Chains A and B, each alone.
Chain A
Amino acid sequence: MNTTAQILQNNIQKILDIWMQNQLADASLRDDLISNEELRRQSEELLSGLARATASGNVENIYAPEYEPVTEILSDISITRARQGFSPRETGMYVLSLKQAISQVLEEQLSDKPETLYKELLKLNLLLDNLSVITFETFIKGREEVILRQTDEISEISTPVIRVWEGILALPIIGTLDSARTQVVMENLLQEIVNTGSSIAILDISGVPAVDSLVAQHLIKTVSATRLMGAECIISGIRAEIAQTIVHLGIDLSNIKTKASLANALQLAFSMRNVEVRKINKNTGISLTR
């Protein structure tokens, strides 16, 4: 067992106290996100894990099996913190303030042996730096998980299929159409065609910022799949600049029914279903005759 490990083990309570003091004194401590008891429990767990790991004599390789409990606790803490909305600074300071606490105790214990102190401090620095790298890695992983979950949620909610009239479905597409989203759009649309027995689907692309050949290809595929189900597809919301771009790109949409606005598409759908919309003289309501 080396000096640091010994000092760590003998002074675990003292280090914990100093560490807690440091953490609690820090102005950036989020006591609204984590209670002091919880913080103390987490810190104690990590510190005793660290003391056990260093007791094995290994203070360099944090990927060795004896460090597994330490890295596990640390990853756990930083992932939870990422989800709870801690800032990277707060999460980073957690491990770095431990370094400060241990250094302080080492300094007290080894004040008569400056050479040993220097060497031990170097080792300690290296060890805790490695641990803080782990904290960052997992913190970012935790954040990325949040982002991925949100991406999934957005693609789920952003493709509603609306039943506008008997036999007519509308699907407003907002945002960029990529392969994954097209899949969701197509699935939702085809399922809804089955469920409602609709014969006309209107794909509204007013909310799609750019139509390049990939987006066009996805649209064409969706239209073909709808046709296979025996329904007709109208694409609406083609803005003037998009129309020009499609022509220059050389995309052939001539065998697909397209309209400038959703209103026009709806009108076409009504006429295809032999439905007429007209004004009644007496009141201002709309009457529909078949």
Chain B
Amino acid sequence: MIVMTKDTMQIVREQDVVPFRNRVRELSVKIGMSLVNQTKLITAASELVRNMLKYANGGKVMLETVSKNAQAGIRLTFQDEGPGIADVQQAMRDGFSTGKSLGLGLPGAKRLVNEFDIKSTLGAGTTVTIIHWKHGR
């Protein structure tokens, strides 16, 4: 996989969500993603960035455009220094939430994108990496 562009954004307030989503949209338009795939990626990114704000008081996101086997894609890395997730498997289950939300953020985001990776250390923070390819597969 080749990284073509790289950019980071700090997310500290709820007001940062919309500019961040617009940035993701810009990138996905630039690599020529279709509207459905754009929306999928943006929604997944929105879920993860909201999680970061809600449970870890913000963090940073690395936005990269990558290329593999001549297909372009976008990789987003969400990194926070929050409390971490006690049971990642449980958190990835539909309907599980420690906040009063629907509990669809993490599992939903995983279903929306092509590649999904989550690493969490209690007390140290959580890193979620997602990749969505131009053609959505």
A-side residues, CB < 8 A to B, are 176, 178, 209-214, 216-217, 240-242, 244-245, 248-251
Contact = CB atoms under 8 A, between A and B. Distances in A.
Contacts of A249: 43, 47, 104, 108-109, 111-112
B42 interface: yes
A69 B95 CA distance: 58
Interface residues on B, range: 20 to 34
Contact of B46 (A210, A240, A244): A210
Contacts of A251: 102, 104, 108
Interface of B: 14, 17-18, 21, 35-36, 38-40, 42-43, 46-47, 50, 94, 101-102, 104-105, 107-109, 111-112
A250 B46 CA distance: 15
Contact of A212 (B36, B38, B43): B43
A142 B107 CA distance: 43
A217 B43 contact: no
B40 A214 contact: no
A245 B40 contact: yes
A240 B46 CA distance: 19
Contacts of B42: 209-210
Chief secondary structure at chain A's binding surface: helix
B47 A250 contact: no
Given A210-B42, A248-B111, 19 more contacts: A176-B17, A176-B18, A209-B42, A210-B21, A210-B43, A211-B43, A212-B46, A212-B50, A212-B105, A241-B38, A241-B39, A242-B39, A244-B36, A244-B39, A244-B40, A248-B108, A249-B108, A250-B108, A250-B111
5 contacts: A176-B17, A210-B43, A213-B104, A241-B39, A248-B111
A213 B102 contact: yes
Contacts of A210: 21, 39, 42-43, 46
A250 B36 CA distance: 16
- Indicate the member of B101, B105, B108 with the most A CB atoms within 10 Å: B108
Q: Which of B46, B47, B94, B105 has the most CB of A within 10 A?
A: B46
